[in-house]
A and B are shown apart, each in its own frame.
Chain A
């Protein structure tokens, strides 16, 4: 143990020797300051609610129309054929940083309704009911059809149906094979009596769940207001506070408010951009590449004549020495990751109030990702004793893994949707390689998932498809660990056999 600690400390000294580590720490500090300069102010309820209930401008259907059956336990959503609109009215901001308003629910207009087997009057596809502008206040202008809201509440409360192919998935996957898409479940069949059995309490619970799922607000009070004729409904809704609500639209200012605030983004979207795109995406890539370059000199330095003799002559086995040195080399990126990720986490926590520690997992995962690359670097260094060779091969391997990740995704999608004809052997080759190569890209995806879970609302994360079909931690870590073990075994074999 003492020898391990000694070599760790030695590696740490080597890592912090020279200006590059300080440059990296300086850049990390700049990133932290940049993130700390970003402020998140909840948008006034009057501005926020239409966006929240009506969806974002580029997402015309309201997210509130998405239903996760089994009272939210199903991660695959469903929809009901008769959509509803959710509109706020009589909106007030309350002194405690919350909001009070009336939620009006009514049948959705101007949307083609498909045929369906459901109780009540059947809607016809393409049934554009009105040629004149419909009067929102006149229930008589409501489209004819089943009570979509009662059906939504009923579907939410029922167990999830069978999974079905998303009819839009094939086209979207062709456009972007890397994009993960939702799987859908069939809505439950409901009789007239089933719908009638939905109580006011069920409706209130559903609305509360939707707010918790898509706005990230807790302790929302929902009471049905009397008076509205079904299929219209009205609820008194009180949100005690929107502070820290991930789905609530925020005004996001950068550089301490030097520029006008950006509007329309939720707190979760802002945090997700910082943590996933900025830190886990760009930041990680830069940190990995620089770390590959810096640490590529560690083993060749160790193997220099006059240096290796001193260490081998000490009472420590060669395999131990190499493995300890390898682990020690990881301290470089670990240190940078701790400063950058820890700093960003603190800055976002202070500025947004979001203290979910999941983002901190980027530190060990980034270190582990580097461990894969560094294992390659160590093998090359032991065989060639050349830092340049280690850098070139490792960066090339990094690029290869990235490209292979893309290829694997394409093959997976192609297997399902058949974008193009490919020979069977190519699938075998890709699958075999995937089984033996480290899951570099999967690690990135798993971190994206963690970040999504920690920054976005449950509903948003699910809607983005971030919780579907993700690789398992066990498989990803296991195969990668196996790869590292093989690389280190190869390097150790050479190191043990060689005379110095």
Chain B
């Protein structure tokens, strides 16, 4: 059973389509990243899953229940983007409040709250009013509250927002530990480096449409492009390779190395045979990859950001819930 599954999910705000038939599937134990420009529909998707926003069409399920079902929400921890915790609480009392809403027993709350706050590094200030917390501390508190009731699914919308580099690394490590414990994480972040480091699968939304989806390896692979290098002093038979239909170009920053691009439907094998026939020694052969950021930029390049403001003169809610 998928932890999250959406099929042809659509959301319209009047004439504006925030989601245009998005279908994703998140399996148990995965860390799933959702990427997209501002207004791409990421937060809208999350809010539909949690029942904060109503879908227009399509299906969405969470832990086997219809999106927004209270029973499913009981098994979900959620950190919203731009959260605004009530400042009249202390860190401890807020966690206690939320714990009660999740139906946690008093003893469990007393045990878990200090543990969770310790986990995110703010246990020393748990009895201080939230209004005295820095942005980073509030973010850590937000993560702690999302973990309090040991949820099966943790949805984190920009979890490292406002957190310093050291804190980000701690959060990444925490996400890794949570995955090891069997939790499923659904991550929405602009920090592509982090997503690349922790996520198993990634989806890229563009103006409400799912434009790419797959593992990190899938998204970063540059299919059909190889970095080829021979033994020192040997010259790559570029002309012969070109005659076979391959495109060959020297790599400017790596002397003696060439980028070989396969024609459609072809493999690298003819080039390898050519090298062997000419008695040359192959020393380096790697299918070229790109960073997730490059892949993301290549995907969304040239596209207009989505709309995240209410159309002038129109009444009603904003097309999307967050800044995305």
Contact = CB atoms under 8 A, between A and B. Distances in A.
Contact of A499 (B54, B74, B84, B87): B54
Interface string A290-320: 0000000000010011111111111111000
A499 B52 contact: yes
Contacts of A18: 88
A17 interface: yes
A150 B87 CA distance: 75
A132 interface: no
Interface of A: 2-3, 5-7, 9-10, 13-14, 17-18, 301, 304-317, 498-500
Nearest to A500: B52
A315 B82 contact: no
A14 B88 contact: yes
**SS class of chain B's interface: helix, strand, loop or mixed?**
loop
B52 to A, nearest CB: 5
A313 B100 contact: no
B166 interface: no
A304 B87 CA distance: 13
B233 to A, nearest CB: 64
Contact of B321 (A9, A309, A314): A309
A16 to B, nearest CB: 8
B78 A310 contact: yes
Nearest to A12: B88
Nearest to A304: B84
A3 B73 CA distance: 14
Nearest to A314: B101
Nearest to A318: B51
A6 B97 contact: yes
Contacts of B82: 305-306
B191 to A, nearest CB: 20
B310 to A, nearest CB: 12
Given A3-B103, A498-B317, A315 B89 contact: no
A499 B317 contact: yes
B51 A312 contact: yes
B80 A306 contact: yes
B175 interface: no
A315 B317 contact: no
B103 A315 contact: yes
Contacts of A308: 52
B143 to A, nearest CB: 13
Contact of B85 (A7, A307, A499, A500): A307
Contact of A309 (B47, B70, B97, B100): B47
B117 interface: no
A309 B89 CA distance: 17
A500 B317 contact: yes
B52 A314 contact: no
16 contacts: A3-B100, A5-B100, A18-B88, A301-B86, A305-B84, A306-B81, A309-B50, A309-B83, A311-B101, A312-B52, A314-B98, A315-B73, A316-B101, A317-B70, A499-B47, A500-B53
Contacts of A313: 50-52, 73, 76, 78, 80
Nearest to B99: A6
Contacts of B87: 17
Contact of A13 (B47, B73, B80, B93): B93
Nearest to A317: B70
A398 B81 CA distance: 39
B133 interface: no
A10 B80 contact: no
A143 to B, nearest CB: 75
A309 B50 CA distance: 9
Contact of B101 (A6, A499, A500): A6
Contacts of B88: 13-14, 17-18
Contacts of A14: 86, 88
Given A312-B52, A313-B52, A500-B317, A10 B83 contact: no
Interface string B43-69: 000010011111000000000000000
A10 B86 contact: yes
Nearest to A312: B52
Nearest to A301: B86
A310 B85 contact: yes
B80 A310 contact: yes
A317 B82 CA distance: 23
Contacts of A17: 87-88
B101 A306 contact: no
Contacts of B101: 3, 6-7, 311, 314-316
Nearest to A15: B88
A492 B75 CA distance: 25
Given A7-B101, A313-B73, 20 more contacts: A3-B100, A3-B101, A6-B97, A10-B86, A10-B97, A13-B88, A14-B86, A17-B88, A18-B88, A305-B82, A307-B85, A307-B86, A308-B52, A309-B78, A310-B85, A310-B145, A316-B101, A499-B13, A500-B52, A500-B321
Interface string B98-109: 101111000000
Contact of A306 (B13, B83, B103): B83
Interface in B303-324: 317, 321
Nearest to B73: A315
A315 B84 contact: no
Contacts of A9: 97, 100
Nearest to B74: A315
